[in-house]
Amino acid sequence: MPLALKPKEIKTEFDNNKSVLIIACGVCPKMCLAAQNIKPYFSLLGSSKENAFKEYMQGIRNKLAQNGIASAVFQAPIDTPMCLWPLRNRQKITKLANNHDAIAVVGCDSALATVKSSVISADKNIVQMMDVIGIANFVSRISFPFNIYLEAATDKEIPL
């Protein structure tokens, strides 16, 4: 069951940092951003250049770069919910976190807990980049050329 997530704007959370590691969940954020931005969630032929998730991630990196902050992105090799990541992904987070001043978590509260439990340094700046706003219930629609779009099943079920 996906969670409905709404992105947060970067304000001053990373002002005192030189580098930020962006760690993204591979499920709920992608679904919600696709639905919110009316862009394909998935392209069967891989031809879709409109990817709301990639645009969002690049937007975070651009905002950080404008403020003189270096960034890197970690995503699991397979799109799985961060709350179900195996130990090896969590160990990668542990290693990568040592090379950055702060961590931006693109996901829900459980994704944030996954990162916090993987980071050894207690003084690491860890910021959740999305708010949980409810439970998501999507209807998928296929359009030519084989793009899959997601729409809220009803307005009451997902406050996008």
Q: pTM to 2 decimals?
A: 0.87
Sequence-distant (6+) residues with CB within 8 A of 49 are none
pLDDT tens profile 35-94:
999 888 887 766 555 688 999 999 999 999 999 999 999 978 777 888 888 888 889 999
pLDDT tens profile 114-138:
999 999 877 899 999 999 998 888 8
Preceding amide of 145 cis, omega within 30: yes
Q: What percent of the chain has pLDDT over 90?
A: 54
State the pLDDT at residue 46.
64
Q: What ranges in the chain are assigned the alpha helix state H?
A: 28-37, 52-66, 87-97, 109-118
State the pLDDT at residue 30.
92
Cα–Cα distance between 112 and 129 in angstroms, integer? 9
Which residues on neighbouring strands pair with residue 104, listed in sequence order? 22, 127
CATH number for region 3-10+17-152: 3.40.50.2300
